[in-house]
Amino acid sequence: MEFQRTFSRQLQSLHARTPDRVALTLQFSNGDDLPITNYQLLLGASSYARAFASAGIKSGEVVVLILQHGEDLVYAFWGAILRGAIPSIMPFLTEKLSPERYRADLSALISVTQPAAIVTYPEFESEARSALKEGDSVRKVVVSNAIEKDGALDFDSLAGFQRKPEDIVILQHSSGTTGLQKGVALSHRAVFNQLDAYGKALNLTANDVIVSWLPLYHDMGLIAGFVMPILSGVHLVLQSPFDWVRAPYKLMHAVTKYRGTLSWLPNFAYNFCAQKIRDRHLEGVDLSTWRAVINCSEPVRSESHLAFYEKFKAHGLKRAALQTSYAMAENVFAVTQSPLGGEPTALAVDREAFMSERVAKLVDEANLGGNSNSAMKMMSSGRPLENVQVKVLDENRNELPERAIGELALKSDCMLTGYYHRDEATQQAFHDGWYLTGDYGFISDGEVYVSGRKKDMIIVGGRNVYPQDLESLTYEVPGVHAGRSVAFGMYNEEEGTEEVVVIAEVDSDDPAEQQKIADAIRQHVTKNSAIALRYVKAVDSKWILKTSSGKTARSANKEKFLQELEQSTL
């Protein structure tokens, strides 16, 4: 019944029906796989719930989790749920993150969220405490390995069973360089409404096996790769994101071993897998059980799907398994999903009309002749879920017609309760009951196409330029790494407008060859976009900065470029 539909009661129901069924299997780079049954999950979570109660954490208070992949993260998250507290997962500090930026972001998160406790490891306790300021509400830094993971189940003692469907159950965070200043508060009801609608779109059953390496501090990993499978009674095989980056072929091995059926990947991961996985690592790999590998979290690219398919088709990967979705934390997760069983729709649109007139004018590729550069391919992110409405708005918030490009707005019954402790930001995010996504795109034949972020727009001489369009053009230049270009605007005081800067990682570290590729990029982009590039820089691999969710961090890359430019003129 609706009044009972909360996370805690769903865990209890799964335990009552199938206590010995494996809820999830944790994989480690230097150790055996660890299966965790529904009973073990509740038992481990109950240990944390008791520890939170002993620490004085009350129902409805926020608990920040700074833990790495493993049992502690799993039990601490669900333990907070059983306690009736609100878990919020934050990235763990690694060598890939700037310690100074990380501490600043952690401090900002604590100031806004005002959590009652932080859960972390003994060796990280001083780091966590250093982020606290006078007046912060954190009462306890809970050391994870001090918690005894035993005892008996006592549901009557767990305050999580008193929570109501409309109560906030989790905080997700929108991504940034480390990513966590704006907490998205979601209720039990909103999450279950999402799981119902998305599960139906996926034809999800108890026979599915979800295999994921995605980090749990963003919506794609937290919902699709953690909350959904566990609450739906679907076996989850979970890897560490850091292990995946070091050895991406292990995803393929996990799919083979456990006969995985569903996985989600950000667009860059398709290119990464196609480029980094060597044939010698694919011996014995069988991907024929994968019924959907869903491209999500960035504008989706048909070129990325093709590269992924060509790399792994010999190992049983079906072309129809490559699917797409458009998602955001504010809607719990999925907004759209391409229909499974067939290939996502891809449209050929006139490049100039798209970039200058902001309309998706369809063209017939068969009649282009040798002028294929006049068209660009746009890949659909699928149709809205049955409980989601999507429309496209102009700058005055008027609805636009079919294939006109504007800001995507949505309405559903799985929207956020609000940005936690950010009432003004919540109010600004809505217009007449519609959530303003900040994403640009268009709708064609009921399908949603996403072209980029509103905040990334560059204005050159009054013309709107979207960096994703230019970045796409750079990938057509030989020597440029797919998915490893970034475009941004730099204001020119003399001209009174912005100029476009393009940075591209290339195959060669020879300065002469890099300059040759940079010149080719300048010519190709200028010819095909009517944007004259002044600054084009070809760089070695790993120059471009990404966010914690794998997206291109345009503001951080701009800052890095300007610092290098300033140093070069000294």
What would the mean pLDDT of 477-502 be, rounded to a whole number?
Answer: 79
The CATH number assigned to the domain with range 2-337 reads: 3.40.50.12780
Pick from 449, 448, 445, 469: which is nearest to 457 by CA? 469
Could you tell me the pTM of the whole model?
0.85
Cα 40 versus chain centre, distance: 29
Rounded to whole angstroms, the Cα distance separating 239 from 213 reads 4
Looking at residue 177, its pLDDT comes to 37
| CATH for 457-569, options being 1.10.8.60, 3.30.300.30, 1.10.10.10, 3.30.565.10 | 3.30.300.30
**Token pair of 390, please?**
């999507």
520: CB partners within 8 A, 6+ apart: 477, 478, 479
Whether the pLDDT of residue 39 is over 70: the answer is: yes
| H/E stretch holding 173 | strand 168-173
Mean pLDDT, residues 534-545 taken together: 86
Mean pLDDT of the 76-96 span: 90
- Give all strands of the β-sheet with 535-539 in edge-to-edge order: 480-492, 497-506, 535-539
At residue 488 the predicted structure's pLDDT band, cuts being 50, 70 and 90, is confident
CATH class of 346-453: mainly beta
pLDDT tens for each residue of 148-191: 777 778 888 899 999 999 999 999 976 543 344 689 999 999 99
pLDDT of residue 559 exceeding 90, the answer is no
Q: What is the pLDDT of residue 549?
A: 59
Q: Where are the domains of the chain?
A: 2-337, 346-453, 457-569
CB 315 within 8 A of CB 285: yes
> Which of 362, 284, 356, 350 lies closest to 316 in space, CA to CA?
284
Please answer whether residues 41 and 34 qualify as being in contact, where contact means their C-beta atoms are separated by less than 8 angstroms. no
Distance CA 409, CA 14 (A): 36
Pair of tokens at residue 257:
């071993």
Cβ atoms within 10 A of the Cβ of 327, count?
23
Q: Give the least confident one: 2-11, 322-331, 418-427.
A: 2-11
What pLDDT shows up at residue 180?
47
Q: pLDDT class for 435, splitting at 50, 70, 90?
A: very high
